[in-house]
Chains A and B, each alone.
Chain A
Amino acid sequence: MALSRPDLSALDTALIAAHQADDREAMAALYHRAAQAMIDNESMEEAAFFLTQAYVLSLDCGDREQAAACHRQLVAMGREQ
């Protein structure tokens, strides 16, 4: 289900808080959620950006499953090798 504007705003606030706390697991999850929201909105450029953020942070915190999921999506979009 596509996220409404207030939902996106809440996500943005949560992301800023996670960045400030250097909570990488939370950042990875939030970026992944943002990416899915953009995919649902068919905003693929934004989706690729957020997916990239989620991918890198998943790699960083050793979340292999989420990193593999992001990687698969990025490769399918022609954004990762």
Chain B
Amino acid sequence: MKPIDRTMLGQVMAPVATARGLPNPFYTDPEVYELEKAKVFAPSWVLIGFGKDLAEPGMAKPVDHLGVPLVMVRDRDGQIRVFQNVCRHRGMILVSETTRLKGVLRCPYHSWCYELDGKLRSTPHVGGPGQNIDASIRREELGLVEVRSTVWMDMVLVNLSGTAPAFEDHAHRLIERYSEFARMPLYHGGPDSSFKLEVKTNWKLAVENYCESYHLPWVHPGLNSYSRLEDHYHMYEPGFAGQGSSAYTPGFGPNGERFAKFASLSDKWDKCAEYPSVFPNALLGFHNDHYFTIMIEPVGHDRTIEHVEIYYADPQMLGEDYAAMRQRNAQLWKGIFVEDIFVVEGMQRGRAAPGFDGGKFSPAMDGPTHAFHHWVAERFAA
């Protein structure tokens, strides 16, 4: 593998007015994609799933995280844990589909059994038929390999390397900015509030596109009719960047009916909605009456899956009375995200142009986009 050119990284990390974007290989080279797994994802807090998929104690959901088999488990105390989805015996995959475990986590191969906190509980016939102990099998050393994890805004995030600062420290500005939302329960809208889009692009282009509002009048003219470009502002903070709107005026029913608002929000949220991209792969949408997360799942250097999950402030919003409004809201967002597909796929195809220099940024309009490029370049330079 060719080493990453540090001069080029310096150009990306230059001030926005003189910087260039990440060059072509960061989008087109499978070797750079492999390197990203180690340089960008492993040391970071990365979104891999949602607590709502583990509704009850005993629920387990397997996750293929950039080729690493993981399993999210809600233990008997209600805590979500993440383990390598691999038996310590012969490396068999433990959980193949989302399931509700009544008891232990039993390997389907030789039935080694693990508690939901990862402890190895039993090793049947390990010392011969009917003999379940062996001097060389020390159960206390053979628990499941736990991956450092945390849950915030129903997002299950992992730090594979185990070296990142605690999430509370790493994301303190994010946590602080959205503390009014995070202190309240979120109610997922159910199947009609969950969808995914498969896109032929590098994951970074999906993140980049979410960072800025510059494209809104051209790509989302419908959105522009009630949320004009001049109503938007940018955000730059350590670990996240994005944009907000100061003209959020929802109405989802035929007569302008609305969803219940989150309680006790400050006045700012009467009109504001914010859309931070939390690096590397969590795109969030805060509104006074609903919230969404887009999990950006890279599945190749030029393939990405966007998982969208929409939440509400009040359990009443999950009822049949609100089904049509929920569906309308989901369709509205889906329509907007579908409108973005041709640009993120078009930018991916554009990276095949020899000598494309990473592109020029508009200092006025592309600040958050540059912040993301800068963040990625920093990881490679470290």
How far does the Cβ of B59 sit from chain A's closest Cβ, in whole Å? 13
Tell me which residues across on chain B come within 8 A of A61, comparing CB atoms: 102-103
Asked if residues A80 and B132 are in contact (CB atoms below 8 Å), the reply is yes
Asked if residues B102 and A55 are in contact (CB atoms below 8 Å), the reply is no
Asked if residues B130 and A59 are in contact (CB atoms below 8 Å), the reply is no
B343 within 8 Å of A (CB atoms)? no
> Which of B90-131 touch A at CB < 8 Å?
101-104, 106, 111, 113, 121-122, 124-125, 129-131
Asked if residues A74 and B132 are in contact (CB atoms below 8 Å), the reply is yes
Tell me which residues across on chain A come within 8 A of B104, comparing CB atoms: 59-60
Tell me which residues across on chain A come within 8 A of B147, comparing CB atoms: none
Given known contacts A52-B124, A53-B124, A80-B122, A60 and B106 CB-to-CB distance under 8 angstroms: yes
Most B CB contacts (10 A, CB to CB) among A55, A58, A62, A79 go to: A79
Asked if residues B103 and A59 are in contact (CB atoms below 8 Å), the reply is yes
Asked if residues A59 and B133 are in contact (CB atoms below 8 Å), the reply is no
A51 within 8 Å of B (CB atoms)? yes
A48 within 8 Å of B (CB atoms)? yes
Residue of A nearest to B130 (CB): A48
Main secondary structure of the interface of B (DSSP, over half): loop
How far does the Cβ of A75 sit from chain B's closest Cβ, in whole Å? 10
| Complex: A53 Cα to B122 Cα, angstroms | 11
Asked if residues B106 and A52 are in contact (CB atoms below 8 Å), the reply is no
Asked if residues B111 and A79 are in contact (CB atoms below 8 Å), the reply is no
Residue of A nearest to B102 (CB): A62
Residue of B nearest to A58 (CB): B103
B170 within 8 Å of A (CB atoms)? no
| Complex: A25 Cα to B120 Cα, angstroms | 22
| Complex: A52 Cα to B111 Cα, angstroms | 11
B139 within 8 Å of A (CB atoms)? yes
A56 within 8 Å of B (CB atoms)? yes
How far does the Cβ of B209 sit from chain A's closest Cβ, in whole Å? 46
| Complex: A60 Cα to B122 Cα, angstroms | 11
| Complex: A48 Cα to B132 Cα, angstroms | 9
Interface mask (A63-75 → B, CB under 8 Å = 1, otherwise 0): 1100100000010
Asked if residues A56 and B129 are in contact (CB atoms below 8 Å), the reply is no
Asked if residues A81 and B130 are in contact (CB atoms below 8 Å), the reply is no
Interface mask (B134-147 → A, CB under 8 Å = 1, otherwise 0): 00000100000000
Given known contacts A45-B130, A79-B131, A79-B133, A55 and B122 CB-to-CB distance under 8 angstroms: yes
User: Could you tell me which A residues sit within 8 Å of B by CB distance?
Assistant: 45-53, 55-56, 58-64, 67, 74, 79-81
Q: Which 9 A-B pairs have the closest CB atoms?
A: A48-B130, A62-B102, A62-B103, A49-B130, A59-B104, A60-B106, A80-B132, A52-B124, A49-B129
Known: A48-B131, A49-B125. 20 other contacts (CB 8 A): A45-B129, A46-B130, A49-B130, A50-B130, A55-B132, A56-B106, A56-B124, A58-B103, A59-B106, A60-B106, A60-B111, A60-B113, A62-B101, A62-B103, A64-B103, A79-B130, A79-B133, A80-B122, A80-B133, A81-B132
**A-B contact list, 15 entries, CB within 8 Å:** A45-B129, A45-B130, A48-B129, A48-B130, A48-B131, A51-B130, A52-B130, A52-B132, A55-B132, A59-B106, A59-B113, A59-B122, A60-B111, A60-B113, A64-B103
